[in-house]
Amino acid sequence: MGSSPVYKLEEDGHDYESGYASGSSSDAELPEIYFTKPHLVFLNRQLQNLEPQEILQWCITSLPGLYQETAFGVTGVTSLDMLAKMKIPRPQMVDLIFFDTLHHFPETHDLINRIRDRYPLVNLHIYKPAGADSEEDFARQHGERLWETNDELYDWLAKVEPAQRAYRELQVGAVLTGRRRSQGGQRGDIPVIEVDEAGLVKVNPFANWSFKQVNEYIKANNVPYNELLDRGYKSVGDWHSTKPVKEGEDERAGRWQGQQKTECGIHNPRSKFAQFLKEQEMKKQSEALHQALESEEGAEITS
């Protein structure tokens, strides 16, 4: 297996390496791309004034290991259609990655089938929670309605771990996302291009577009879309955390209603989940120790 793209963020005259280097990489090998903070500022300033199609074209010619992450929302299918119209040679085509949480609406899976029919040349990689192929499998392994009892663990198992597994197995160096500033929340001030703490380049080609602009493109180009949009939904995720929005509400107001939450975990800092997993392990060890002490006390009493 060849080496993956490695991205470096240079800061204060020092190199801070991150990303995905293969085990065969030698210290003498140079990363394929260097991003300094001033360079990122410059790129964002230049890309800021371009149309999504121009940004997508720049990504194809500039970023190795490029994939599109999508849950087949309105921006995702718009990006897919724009890429398909570019007549990109097969070796340079942008593959799709879909994280099947096993809790998507039937309408989302129906859309995926229609997407496959409409764009037969597009390669789709589907990643599910480890060791589970159905909602019932997931519940047997982790308990019923885990999103209610331990929301962060649900995000890790259903979304974040599959994402990290995909990045590793596919040697992903950069991803296209469907995030837009008009969606509000944590997305309100996203740049066009960013580098996460693990070195993954994230590009938001539609950062400047509104829901209206995306919807107009879909209608004008007859792009397949999720039928839930015709029933008042604007942002579609898992069935248990997605509801229709009312007139005048923010686009993502139907996600995680009643919770102080605007992101599913994939776009949150990885260090947050590293800390969460550490706390989960410490809690597990503490419970095991407590049970062991109780067993010893019980044995002493009976003897």
Strands 193-195 and 201-203: antiparallel
Active site residue 264: yes
* Cβ neighbourhood burial of 72 (10 Å; 0-12, 13-18, 19+): buried
Closest alpha carbon to 179 in 77, 249, 75: 75
SS3 label, residue 41: helix
CB contact at 8 A, 10 and 16: yes
Reference 156, options 28, 49, 272, 54; nearest CA is 272
**Residue 245 backbone dihedrals phi, psi, to 5 degrees:** -105, 155
Instruction: Using DSSP bridges, classify how beta strands 66-69 and 174-176 pair: parallel, antiparallel or unpaired.
Output: parallel
Where are the extended beta strands (E) located within 160-212? 174-176, 193-195, 201-203
Cα–Cα distance, 150 to 158 (Å, whole number)? 12
CA distance 212 to 182: 10
Q: Which of 264, 267, 273, 276 is catalytic?
A: 264
Positions of E strands within the chain: 6-11, 14-19, 33-36, 66-69, 95-99, 124-127, 174-176, 193-195, 201-203
Q: Which residues lie across from 175 on neighbouring strands?
A: 67, 202
Residues marked active site are found at 264
